[in-house]
Amino acid sequence: MGSDIGAHDIPGTTIFGAEEARRGYALNKMCYSFNSAQNRAAFQKDEDGYCRKFGLSPDQREAVRQRNVLALIAAGGNIYYLAKLAGIFGLNVQDIGAQQTGMSLEAFQAKLMAARH
Amino acid sequence: MARIVGGISTSHVPLIGKAIVQRQLQSEPYWKPFFDGYRAVHQWLDRVRPDVAVMIYNDHGLNFFLDKMPTFAVGAASEYQNADEGWGLKLFPPFAGDPDLSWHVIESLVADEFDITTCQEMLVDHAFAIPMALMWPDTRPWPVKTVPVCINTVQHPLPSAARCYKLGQAIGRAIESYPKDIKVLVVGTGGMSHQLDGTRAGFINRDFDQLCFEKLMHDPQALTRYSNRELVELAGTQGVEILMWIAARAALSGRVSEIHRNYHIPISNTASGLLLMEPAA
């Protein structure tokens, strides 16, 4: 059987494994804190201060500032935790799907519909 | 003795929660083909009336974080709370546990060489709560007790399909060796094909989903040959949630009869699926 995880050969896909879990720990920990409404409010009051409190790297802070999901994933973000951050920005999974694929929301939704056939 | 009366596998997309709360949405064209699929499940549940649901699901960062990430975790609480997952959605009422059955399953699994994590406190997220609300939309308190079994799909390495199949078999043996005369439903939640992250976001694979239905019914072991990398490629990064379907199917040892299935694209970014099986007579 052996481990074939860590192979990053599926186009457009990051498999969240050891490397990402280590690189993204602070970022994901911050996103996990957003399960609390109080923490979401604290983040909204001072985004960068909140990021610093969790020890995010400059790259991670910049990706947060830009609301750039692909950059957040490259910085070690896990989509399940990032979804909580995206929620604060008012972005649902279709919005972030559209953002990552460089499509309009309507085009992304049409792509999903097209999978019916 | 306890008896497994059936298995249900169903998608658990968070967006479904919106249409559960705003019930009028369920008759709109977007939702109708999805919700209509559960009528046969309601009729079956009404007839069979299980006492306990063993819920095989994956946590999405409500109860578990990367600080401590169990591969397999089993709840042993008398009650499980749903909680805010970050979006401030309306919460589901608490779910009753069955600590006697939980501890029996835990003892049986560990004796069977599954070194699971035991949780006397456990928050259950949408992957647990939404399937419960789809199966029992009207009855509160919930008409069944529950035993949560959580499989890690957040951080690779995930347990393999072969391992999840064996876990399901071991859960089946645990239930069937429980001395109380109760009816148990085994539920697997998640899937089917979908991918939320990366430039491949929006990936759906209808053909692979259909293959999974066929194999789950007639040759479930065939699915254990896939590595998790292959499952990511074929079903999408979050499509690996088919692991929970594989485990639930394996709990029903031997042949099964298909009572009902439904498949609808898309719900949010996901190909939604539903499968109801009974042990073959």
Render pLDDT for B48-64 as a digit per residue (tens, 0 to 9): 999 999 999 999 999 99
- Going by their DSSP bridges, the two strands B256-267 and B270-279 should be labelled as antiparallel
Q: Which B residues, 204 through 223, put their C-beta within 8 Å of a C-beta on chain A?
A: 204, 206
Give CATH for domain B3-279: 3.40.830.10
Active-site option among B12, B60, B104, B194 = B194
pLDDT (mean) for B5-13: 97
Task: Judge contact between B242 and B190, C-beta under 8 A.
Answer: yes
Measured CA to CA in angstroms, residue B140 lies from B95, B104, B123 at distances of 10, 27, 19
Residues 6 or more apart whose Cβ sits within 8 Å of residue B71: B151, B152, B158, B159
Q: What pLDDT was estimated at residue B53?
A: 98
Q: What pLDDT was estimated at residue A4?
A: 56
In this complex, the residue of B86, B227, B238 whose CB is nearest that of residue A84 is: B86
Render pLDDT for A59-117 as a digit per residue (tens, 0 to 9): 999 999 999 999 999 999 999 999 999 999 999 999 999 999 999 999 999 999 999 98
Render pLDDT for B257-267 as a digit per residue (tens, 0 to 9): 999 999 999 99
Q: Is B12 a catalytic residue?
A: no
pLDDT confidence of B88, banded at 50, 70, 90?
Answer: confident
* Cβ pair B271:A87 closer than 8 A: no
Gap between the Cα atoms of B266 and B97, Å rounded: 33
**Residue-by-residue DSSP string for B174-230:** HHHT--S--EEEEEEE--SS---SSTTTT---HHHHHHHHHHHHH-GGGGGG--HHH
CB atoms within 10 A of CB A103: 16
Give the domain ranges of chain B.
3-279
Q: Is B126 a catalytic residue?
A: yes
Q: What pLDDT was estimated at residue A1?
A: 39
Active-site option among B12, B60, B126, B264 = B126
Q: Say if residue A5's pLDDT is above 90.
A: no
* Cβ pair B156:A111 closer than 8 A: no
Q: Say if residue B92's pLDDT is above 80.
A: yes
pLDDT (mean) for B117-129: 98
Q: What pLDDT was estimated at residue B90?
A: 79
Which residues in chain B touch residue A28, judged by CB atoms under 8 angstroms apart? Answer: 65-66
Q: What are phi and psi of A111, to 5 degrees?
A: -65, -40
Q: Which B residues, 94 through 153, put their C-beta within 8 Å of a C-beta on chain A?
A: none
Residues 6 or more apart whose Cβ sits within 8 Å of residue B42: B135, B137
Q: What pLDDT was estimated at residue A2?
A: 41
pLDDT confidence of A16, banded at 50, 70, 90?
Answer: very high
Q: What pLDDT was estimated at residue A7?
A: 55
* Cβ pair A16:B154 closer than 8 A: yes
Q: Which A residues, 81 through 110, put their C-beta within 8 Å of a C-beta on chain B?
A: 81-84, 87-88, 92-94, 96-97, 100-102, 108
* Three-state DSSP state, B56: strand
Domains of chain A as residue ranges with CATH: 18-90 (1.10.700.10)
Q: Which residue in chain B has the smallest CA separation from A70?
A: B198
Range of lowest pLDDT (A91-95, B7-11, B88-92, B263-267): B88-92
Render pLDDT for B230-240 as a digit per residue (tens, 0 to 9): 999 999 999 99
Gap between the Cα atoms of A25 and B201, Å rounded: 23
Q: Say if residue B33's pLDDT is above 60.
A: yes
Q: Say if residue B10's pLDDT is above 80.
A: yes
**Residue in the block written with tokens 């709990």:** B251
| ipTM topping 0.85 | yes
- Distance (Å) from the C-alpha of residue A82 to the closest C-alpha of chain B? 10
In this complex, the residue of B15, B60, B156 whose CB is nearest that of residue A5 is: B156
Q: What pLDDT was estimated at residue B89?
A: 81
* Cβ pair B66:A112 closer than 8 A: no
Q: What pLDDT was estimated at residue A6?
A: 54
A57 residue type, one letter? S
